[in-house]
Amino acid sequence: MLSQWIRRLLLPRHADKEWELRKASTSVTLTISRYQNVSQEIQEEIERNKFAKYLVYDRGDHHAND
Q: Rounded to whole angstroms, how far apart are CA atoms 34 and 27?
A: 11
- The pTM (predicted TM-score) of the whole model is 0.52
pLDDT number for residue 43? 83
Q: Rounded to whole angstroms, how far apart are CA atoms 42 and 55?
A: 13
Q: Rounded to whole angstroms, how far apart are CA atoms 25 and 1?
A: 36
The DSSP-derived string for 13-35 is: HHHHHHHHHHHHHHHHHHHHHHH
pLDDT at residue 66 tops 60: no
pLDDT number for residue 61? 64
Question: How does pLDDT run across 18-65, given as a tens digit for each residue?
Answer: 889 999 999 999 999 889 888 888 888 888 887 766 666 666 666 555
pLDDT number for residue 36? 87
